[in-house]
């Protein structure tokens, strides 16, 4: 077990903070993710990455991402977790060398061939075993350690009890999912999407067929039509927000947030919430008291109801959403702050959703506490007063006494 804390000035402090690792589907989200407190971001490259739909990064994008991350002391991980078919092998060595040269911290891999060549090429970057391999036990972790791997991303199906056993003796770093969507099937090992939409879930093309609406038959009799209740197999999303302290005390090396396809508002909200929670716990673990603020924050961006996934044991019917697959954030993201003029008390903003005079907007940020403001003056780019902001991405100005900052976000209360 790793030593995670030390007495400093008579008070126990956490000296081994876990890495907070978050996803990004494009450069804008990546920069926001880092500004809102992620220590590392994982992205998919255009080549050799599993999530083909997740607007993947070119080499130039990855280069820009690394440079931006370096400015914040953060790191970039690149997924190379494609299940390789014979015709996917070409160019892999050159690709890995390029990622290494531009300063990528780690690649996330699933195919044993990529594991082997990444080590044979003697690259500086770390090699992380993808969650796609569903690693759930210490013996398998030892196997990957013997192959020279630097980290294992555990399967989402790892319970807390199993994690305790793993953290006692693991010879390499462990990454553990703390937040995100769950498959109804064993993570990714699912053929539903292949059969129903010809999109291969195991090669990044999942059409989330488990969340479609189905007719449900019991011994030949249609049972869900009468009640006009659609049947779906959607799982609630996982959130371990109330167990972060226990995971830190175990010495888990990296906390993973899932969701490369999620919105800017979602990722900023989730990352900043876990950032604040981890920092508060590590600063004073013995007096830390979990309060509902963190869960309430997550709920403002949560798409679906939240649960603990496999943390306690196999999920039960209570962790499923059998007839509900719609995704609704509880608060709408309406404003992105571009600049603030302290003298004129005027914020230059980008409109992200409809708002109008009289609305209450809550601004949140990595730099200050949440603040709720009444919108009482809106101007267009020609500084003409307007009453409604109804053009997506329009540049506008609002009067606001509180000094907001560039990249702060506002959501309608």
Which residues would be at the binding site for ligand SF4 (CB under 6 A)?
183-185, 188, 190, 192-193, 201, 206, 208-210
For residues 1 and 7, give the distance between their C-alpha atoms in angstroms, rounded to a whole number.
18
For residues 68 and 27, give the distance between their C-alpha atoms in angstroms, rounded to a whole number.
10
Closest approach of ligand SF4 to the CB of residue 206, in Å = 4
Does residue 131 contact residue 157 with C-beta atoms inside 8 Å?
A: no
**Residue 307 or 409 with smaller CB distance to ligand SF4:** 307
**Residue 27 or 305 with smaller CB distance to ligand SF4:** 305
Among 291, 289, 278, CA closest to 14: 278
Interhelix angle 138-146/160-169, nearest 10 degrees: 40
Closest approach of ligand SF4 to the CB of residue 400, in Å = 41
**Residue 170 or 193 with smaller CB distance to ligand SF4:** 193
Give the HSE-up count for residue 351: Cα atoms under 13 Å, Cβ half-sphere: 19
Closest approach of ligand SF4 to the CB of residue 234, in Å = 8
Closest approach of ligand SF4 to the CB of residue 135, in Å = 18
Closest approach of ligand SF4 to the CB of residue 203, in Å = 11
**Residue 138 or 184 with smaller CB distance to ligand SF4:** 184
Closest approach of ligand SF4 to the CB of residue 390, in Å = 35
For residues 65 and 57, give the distance between their C-alpha atoms in angstroms, rounded to a whole number.
9
- Per the structure block, which two tokens stand in for 219? 């011994």
For residues 327 and 340, give the distance between their C-alpha atoms in angstroms, rounded to a whole number.
33
**Residue 32 or 130 with smaller CB distance to ligand SF4:** 130
Closest approach of ligand SF4 to the CB of residue 317, in Å = 16
**Residue 98 or 187 with smaller CB distance to ligand SF4:** 187
Q: Give the strand pairing for 106-109 and 75-80.
A: parallel
**Residue 202 or 380 with smaller CB distance to ligand SF4:** 202
CA 191 to chain centre: 24
- Per the structure block, which two tokens stand in for 346? 């005027």
- Per the structure block, which two tokens stand in for 32? 């926001």
């Amino acid at each position: 077990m790793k030593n995670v804390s030390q007495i400093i000035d008579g008070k126990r402090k956490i000296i081994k903070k876990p890495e907070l690792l978050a996803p990004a589907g494009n450069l804008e989200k990546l920069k926001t993710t880092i500004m809102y407190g992620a220590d590392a971001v994982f992205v998919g490259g255009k080549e050799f990455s599993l999530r083909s739909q997740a607007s993947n990064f070119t080499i130039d994008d990855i280069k820009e991402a690394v440079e931006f991350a370096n400015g914040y002391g953060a790191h970039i991980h690149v997924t190379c977790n494609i299940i390789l078919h014979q015709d996917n092998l070409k160019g892999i060595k050159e690709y890995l060398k390029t990622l290494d040269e531009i300063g990528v911290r780690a690649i996330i891999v699933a195919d044993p061939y990529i594991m082997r060549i990444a080590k044979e090429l003697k690259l500086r970057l770390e090699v992380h075993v993808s969650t796609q391999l569903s690693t759930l036990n210490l013996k398998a972790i030892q196997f990957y350690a013997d192959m020279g791997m630097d980290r294992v991303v555990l399967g989402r199906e790892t319970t807390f009890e199993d994690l305790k056993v793993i953290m006692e003796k693991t010879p390499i770093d462990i990454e553990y999912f703390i937040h995100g969507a769950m498959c109804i099937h064993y993570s990714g090992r699912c053929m539903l999407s292949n059969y129903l939409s010809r999109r291969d879930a195991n090669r990044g093309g999942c059409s989330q067929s488990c969340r479609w609406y189905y007719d449900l038959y019991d011994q030949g009799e249609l049972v869900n039509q009468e009640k006009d209740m659609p049947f779906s197999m959607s799982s609630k999303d996982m959130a371990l927000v109330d167990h972060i302290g226990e995971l830190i005390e175990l010495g888990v090396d990296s906390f993973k947030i899932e969701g490369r396809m999620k919105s800017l508002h979602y990722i900023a909200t989730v990352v900043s919430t876990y950032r604040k929670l981890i920092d508060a716990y590590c600063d004073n673990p013995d007096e830390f008291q979990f309060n509902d603020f963190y869960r309430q924050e997550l709920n403002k961006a949560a798409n679906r109801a939240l649960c603990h996934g496999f943390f306690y044991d196999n999920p039960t019917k209570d962790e499923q959403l059998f007839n509900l697959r719609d995704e609704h954030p509880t608060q709408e993201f309406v404003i992105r702050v571009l600049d603030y003029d302290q003298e004129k008390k005027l914020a230059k903003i980008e409109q992200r959703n409809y708002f109008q005079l009289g609305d209450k907007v809550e601004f949140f940020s990595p730099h200050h506490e949440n603040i709720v403001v009444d919108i009482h003056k809106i101007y267009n780019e020609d500084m003409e007063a307007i009453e409604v902001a109804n053009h997506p991405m329009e540049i506008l100005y609002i009067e606001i006494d509180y000094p907001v900052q560039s990249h702060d976000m506002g959501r309608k209360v």
